[in-house]
Each structure stands twice: as structure tokens, then as C-alpha cells.
Amino acid sequence: MMRKKMTFQGWLRLTPKERARVQRSWNPYAGEGEYIVRAAHRLFKKKFGSSRDVTNISYGVYHGGDWVISATLKVGHRVAIPKKFLGIWVVKLYGGISG
């Protein structure tokens, strides 16, 4: 029996525990869940992308096979960014040019 593809609106209605359960069922290397992560990335970018200390926001598969949203920050700058956003892990990278 084939699983029904979850919509992003459906994802937003899930509890954090339910989101974690769904994520564990994904194979990110096969692209499973990318449509959810892409939509979360767009919202994350709208919320945090306007900070001048954030030089780049992207998403991808991190070590161990988890989807993540990555935020590149200027070296030496601090930005209040959550560890998770809508159930997706957020990774802070440092390397943007300070100025």
C-alpha cells in the first residue's frame, strides 16, 4: 500500500513528536521529504534572511542523512536563530565576511 504524500499544510498541523516520527521515515538521499523542507526553508528565509549578519540560507542533507536548513553568518556575529524550525534542524555556519 502506497503512503499518501503529506502536504506542507498537513506538516504544519503535526505536533513536534509527529514531525519527528515522519522525518525518521524519510530517506533524504532519495529526496523523500524535500518538498516539506523546501517550503520550511522559504519561510525560514523570509523570517531570518533580512538580517545583515546572515549571508546565506540554504537546505540540504547533513551528515547522517538528516535534512537541515543552514544559515551562514558573518564571523563574530550572533543572530538569534532556533535549533529547529518547523521541525527541521537548523545548522549555523560561520564564514560570511564581516564588515
- pLDDT at position 40: 98
Output Rg (C-alpha) for the chain, integer angstroms. Answer: 14
- pLDDT at position 5: 80
Q: What is the mean pLDDT of each run of 10 residues along the chain (99 residues)?
A: 76 96 94 96 95 92 92 86 96 74
- pLDDT at position 1: 42
Helix H or strand E encompassing 60: strand 54-62
Specify the pairing of strand 66-74 against strand 88-96.
parallel
Burial pattern 16-55, b for ≥16 Cβ within 10 A else e, equals: eeebeebbeebebeeebbbebbebbbeebbeebeebebbb
Which pTM value belongs to this model? 0.87
> For the domain bounded by 8-96, which CATH number is listed?
3.30.70
